[in-house]
Amino acid sequence: MAKLTSEQRDDRLRFDYQVASQMQSPIMNVMAYRSIEDLRAQRNPITAVAEGHLAKHYLAHYNVKTLIGPDRHSSSTSVHFDLLAGGNYPLSEPKCWVISDKLPWTPHFNTNHPICIGEMWEASRGRMLFGQLLIHVAKLLNFDEIPRSATYGGYTPEAAAYWRTKLNMQPITPDLVYPVLPDWTASKPITVQDLVKPVASSPVFQAKPQTQPPANAFRPKSVSDEQQQVMFAPSPRNRS
């Protein structure tokens, strides 16, 4: 498997940071940290693109209605993302865990286990962005599933059965407006070749000229902020 040099990985981390910093929405607030200790204490957040390569841990607060049991709901969930946990980022998938008290009751969540994100990151071979994973987890919280077989159960077969029979295989909030990727990411395709080229010859992961995110980039937006349209749909996957 290909592996990025430390300089290439730093460029990719900086690129992911810049994308995430422009994805704040009424249903998602994201903070970036250098270490798990800083994340747990919620201290010293990274707020400048110039330090984006140091952003290896993210804390995302989702204001998404999700099931926590049959006919029981929670309105918020906090998730810790560790980008380097797989050992070969971005070719290895990040790991993410629910760290709030109430565990979502869906086939993708289990106590003391990382969230099961399916095969989409592995299938992308490094081309999937962290920002897309942020959106994907919002969809998992909303029980926004791809078509599933009658035997699908994941971590929690009872929740999968509830989704089929009580939710009629529909999201909890069908009209939920998800966060979106910044428009400019569409003009930066990422290929396997980009992952192994010397950084000097490949600008794919370079930050845009405007190197500072907006002043409120890592602060919650109010629910009155203008809502946005969905731009990302998860790739088909075979496991939960």
Whichever domain contains 134, its CATH number is: 3.10.110.10
What rounded mean pLDDT belongs to the chain?
Answer: 82
| 77, pLDDT greater than 70 | yes
pLDDT at residue 230, as a whole number: 26
Confidence of residue 188 (pLDDT cuts 50, 70, 90): low
Report helix angle 6-21 to 130-141, nearest 10.
50
Residue 181 belongs to some domain of the structure: yes
Confidence of residue 186 (pLDDT cuts 50, 70, 90): confident
Phi and psi torsions of 72, nearest 5°: -120, 135
Residue 207 belongs to some domain of the structure: no
Pairwise pLDDT comparison (142 vs 187), residue with the higher score = 142
Please report where in the chains the tokens 């009209």 appear, as a residue: 175
Residue 235 belongs to some domain of the structure: no
Lowest mean pLDDT among 39-48, 193-202, 208-217: 193-202
Mean pLDDT of 27-43: 97
Per the CB < 8 A criterion, the answer to whether 41 and 35 are in contact is no
Kindly state the tokens that stand for 71. Answer: 């006919």
Confidence of residue 224 (pLDDT cuts 50, 70, 90): very low
The rounded percent of the chain whose pLDDT value lies above 70 is: 77
pLDDT at residue 189, as a whole number: 53
Give the residue numbers spanning the domain of 152. Answer: 6-201
| 200, pLDDT greater than 60 | no
Lowest mean pLDDT among 4-18, 135-149, 155-169, 184-198: 184-198
Residue 1 belongs to some domain of the structure: no
Structural domain count of the chain? 1
Residue 240 belongs to some domain of the structure: no
Residue 155 belongs to some domain of the structure: yes
Residue 222 belongs to some domain of the structure: no
Residue 18 belongs to some domain of the structure: yes
